[in-house]
Structure 1
Amino acid sequence: MNEKHWSVDITIDEHTSANGNRTRAIARLHSQDDTHFAGAGFARRNPSDLDVPEIGDELAASRALADLSRQLIEATRADLVGITHEPIHLTS
């Protein structure tokens, strides 16, 4: 069996701007080959909402992972088009 290991690291940080608090998450894919992808996600707390940082972290991280997923699907589609020379439509 030829097992591969991919891992994803998520970095979360917060910024304060004129529009309020904004949380950013970056999800980076690490693999044993040259596969390099990074997805980004953002969340902004409405000033009238309770200040619960975990909620912004969760939302930004989920959006970063969704972006990463979209990029992987697009890379797969492009690889298949390159091999088959046919239009390819993939759904998640």
Structure 2
Amino acid sequence: MTTSRRWSIDIYLDEHEDERTTHAEARLRTSDKTQLLGRGAAHRNPADTDIAEIGDELAAARALSDLAHKLLHTAASDIESITHERVRLHS
């Protein structure tokens, strides 16, 4: 028997031109109402060409990486609560 679940991740990007910074939030919502948030940022050197897409890509990648680490930590905590033993998961 196959069971399907749907999880969704929304990525929100904010560019702050005065700071030459792009901030990203990656928000995970699962079918069991779990919600996790990852954050990331990209900082443009004043000498670099202003290409917004590159800042978006870097900030989003960092937010997704942060989210992945938080998801691993959540899984480890869930396992520990069931087994009552220390768990160490590797990515």
After TM superposition, what 4+ stretches of structure 1 lie above 3 angstroms from structure 2? none
Give distance in 2, aligned partners of 1:34 and 1:62. 24
Is 1:67 equivalent to 2:73 in the alignment?
no
What do you get for the CA RMSD once the two structures are aligned? Answer: 1.0
Unaligned runs of 5+ in 2: none
TM-score by length of 2: 0.93
Identity, in percent, stands at: 48
Q: Which residue of 2 aligns with 1:8?
A: 9
C-alpha displacement at 1:42, in angstroms?
A: 0.4
Q: How does 1:48-59 map to 2 (within 5 A)?
A: 48-59=47-58
Return the offset for 1:16.
3.3
Gaps spanning 5+ residues in structure 1: where? none
For residue 37 of structure 1, report the CA deviation from its aligned partner.
Answer: 0.5
More off after superposition, 8-17 vs 44-53: 8-17
Q: Which amino acid aligns with 1:83?
A: I
Query: How many residue pairs get matched?
Result: 90
Query: Scaled by the length of structure 1, what TM-score is found?
Result: 0.92
| Other-structure match for 2:26 | 27
